[in-house]
A and B are shown apart, each in its own frame.
Chain A
Amino acid sequence: MIPFEFASPKRLQDATSAIDHKSSMALAGGTTLLDLMKLNVLTPDTVVSVASVLGNSVRLEDDTLTIEAGCTMAQLADHERVRESFPAIRQSLITAASPQIRNMATIGGNLLQRTRSTYFRHPDMPPPDESFDDSNHEKFWHRVDLSSAAVLGNSGRVVGTYPGDFANTVVAFDATLHLEGPDHQRTIHAREFYQIPQRQELQYSVDLKPGELITAISFPVTPALKNSLYFKVRERSSYAFALASVAAGLELEGQGSTATIRQAKIAFGGLGSIPWFSQAAVQALEGKPATDDNFEKAAEAALAEATPPPGNEYRVRLARRCLVRSLRRLRDVGPYSDTEIWAMQHGRTPTPA
Chain B
Amino acid sequence: MNRAPDSDHSGGLGRRQFLKGVGTLAGASCLPANASAANETAPQEKNVLEHPVSLNVRINGKEISREIDARTTLLDLLRETLQLTGTKKGCDHGACGACTVHVNGKRVLSCLTLAATLEGAEVTTIEGVSQNEELHPLQEAFLRCDAYQCGYCTPGQIMSGIACIGEGHADKSAEEAREWMSGNLCRCSAYPNILAAVRQTAGAEPESDPAAHVRTFSLAEASSQEQ
Q: Does B bind A? A: yes
Q: Chain A: residues with CB nearer than 8 A to chain B?
A: 1, 3-6, 8, 27, 29-31, 34-35, 38, 47, 49, 51, 74, 97-101, 103-104, 237-239, 338-339, 342-343, 345-346, 348, 351
Decide: A104 and B70 in contact? CB cutoff 8 A. no
Decide: A239 and B182 in contact? CB cutoff 8 A. yes
Interface size class of B (residues with CB under 8 A): 35 or more
Q: Which of A6, A35, A99, A345 contacts B53 (CB 8 A)?
A: A6
In the bound complex, residues from chain A placing their C-beta under 8 Å from that of B32 are none
* A and B contact pairs by CB, cutoff 8 A, 16 listed: A5-B51, A6-B53, A6-B114, A29-B112, A30-B113, A31-B94, A34-B112, A47-B70, A100-B100, A100-B107, A100-B183, A101-B109, A103-B108, A239-B183, A342-B179, A346-B179
In the bound complex, residues from chain A placing their C-beta under 8 Å from that of B163 are 99
Question: In the complex, what distance in Å separates the CA atom of A1 from the CA atom of B48?
Answer: 12
Question: In the complex, what distance in Å separates the CA atom of A1 from the CA atom of B115?
Answer: 14
Per DSSP, are chain B's interface residues mostly helix, strand or loop, or mixed? mixed
Q: How many whole Å from B211's CB to the nearest CB in chain A?
A: 22
Which residue in chain A gives the minimum CB-CB distance to B159? A100
Most buried by A among B53, B175, B176, B184: B175
Question: In the complex, what distance in Å separates the CA atom of A342 from the CA atom of B177?
Answer: 9
In the bound complex, residues from chain A placing their C-beta under 8 Å from that of B107 are 99-100, 103
Q: How many whole Å from A340's CB to the nearest CB in chain B?
A: 10
In the bound complex, residues from chain A placing their C-beta under 8 Å from that of B160 are 99-100
Which residue in chain B gives the minimum CB-CB distance to A31? B112
Q: Which of B71, B112, B164, B178 contacts A104 (CB 8 A)?
A: B112
Question: In the complex, what distance in Å separates the CA atom of A122 from the CA atom of B12?
Answer: 44
Is B180 on the interface with A (CB-CB < 8 A)? yes
Decide: A3 and B179 in contact? CB cutoff 8 A. no
Which residue in chain A gives the minimum CB-CB distance to B114? A30
Is B50 on the interface with A (CB-CB < 8 A)? yes
Known: A30-B114, A237-B182. 4 other contacts (CB 8 A): A27-B114, A97-B183, A100-B183, A103-B107
Is B93 on the interface with A (CB-CB < 8 A)? yes
In the bound complex, residues from chain B placing their C-beta under 8 Å from that of A351 are 173
Most buried by A among B50, B92, B94, B164: B94
In the bound complex, residues from chain B placing their C-beta under 8 Å from that of A30 are 112-114, 117
Question: In the complex, what distance in Å separates the CA atom of A5 from the CA atom of B111?
Answer: 19
What per-residue 1/0 map shows which CB atoms of B156-177 lie under 8 Å from chain A? 0000100110010000010110
Q: How many whole Å from B104's CB to the nearest CB in chain A?
A: 10
Decide: A6 and B94 in contact? CB cutoff 8 A. no
Is B97 on the interface with A (CB-CB < 8 A)? yes
Q: How many whole Å from A66's CB to the nearest CB in chain B?
A: 24
Decide: B114 and A47 in contact? CB cutoff 8 A. yes
In the bound complex, residues from chain B placing their C-beta under 8 Å from that of A237 are 178-179, 182
In the bound complex, residues from chain A placing their C-beta under 8 Å from that of B94 are 31, 35, 101
In the bound complex, residues from chain B placing their C-beta under 8 Å from that of A101 are 94, 109, 112, 183
What per-residue 1/0 map shows which CB atoms of B37-81 lie under 8 Å from chain A? 000000000000011010000000000000001110100000000
Q: Which of A4, A98, A239 contacts B71 (CB 8 A)?
A: A4
Contact A8-B112, Cβ < 8 Å, known A35-B93, A99-B163: no
Which residue in chain B gives the minimum CB-CB distance to A102? B183
In the bound complex, residues from chain B placing their C-beta under 8 Å from that of A47 are 70, 114
Contact A35-B112, Cβ < 8 Å, known A8-B117, A98-B183, A342-B176: yes
Q: Which of A1, A3, A35, A100 contacts B108 (CB 8 A)?
A: A100
Which residue in chain B gives the minimum CB-CB distance to A238? B182
Most buried by B among A51, A239, A343, A345: A239
Which residue in chain A gives the minimum CB-CB distance to B106? A103
Is B116 on the interface with A (CB-CB < 8 A)? yes
Contact A346-B178, Cβ < 8 Å, known A4-B51, A35-B93, A100-B160: yes
In the bound complex, residues from chain B placing their C-beta under 8 Å from that of A100 are 97, 100, 107-109, 160, 183
Give the 4 A-B residue pairs with the shortest CB-CB distance, closest first: A98-B183, A238-B182, A6-B70, A342-B175
Decide: A3 and B117 in contact? CB cutoff 8 A. no
In the bound complex, residues from chain B placing their C-beta under 8 Å from that of A99 are 107, 160, 163-164, 167, 180, 183
In the bound complex, residues from chain A placing their C-beta under 8 Å from that of B106 are 74, 103
Q: How many whole Å from B77's CB to the nearest CB in chain A?
A: 14
Which residue in chain B gives the minimum CB-CB distance to A97? B183
Most buried by B among A34, A99, A338, A348: A99
Decide: B73 and A34 in contact? CB cutoff 8 A. yes
Decide: A1 and B175 in contact? CB cutoff 8 A. no
Question: In the complex, what distance in Å separates the CA atom of A44 from the CA atom of B97?
Answer: 26
Q: Which of B97, B173, B185 contacts A342 (CB 8 A)?
A: B173
Question: In the complex, what distance in Å separates the CA atom of A186 from the CA atom of B125?
Answer: 43
Most buried by A among B73, B97, B163, B179: B179
Q: How many whole Å from B216's CB to the nearest CB in chain A?
A: 27
Decide: B175 and A3 in contact? CB cutoff 8 A. no
Question: In the complex, what distance in Å separates the CA atom of A338 from the CA atom of B180?
Answer: 12
Decide: B175 and A343 in contact? CB cutoff 8 A. yes
Question: In the complex, what distance in Å separates the CA atom of A49 from the CA atom of B118?
Answer: 11
Q: How many whole Å from A242's CB to the nearest CB in chain B?
A: 15
Question: In the complex, what distance in Å separates the CA atom of A249 from the CA atom of B164?
Answer: 31
Q: Which of B108-135 contact A (CB under 8 A)?
A: 108-109, 111-114, 116-117, 119
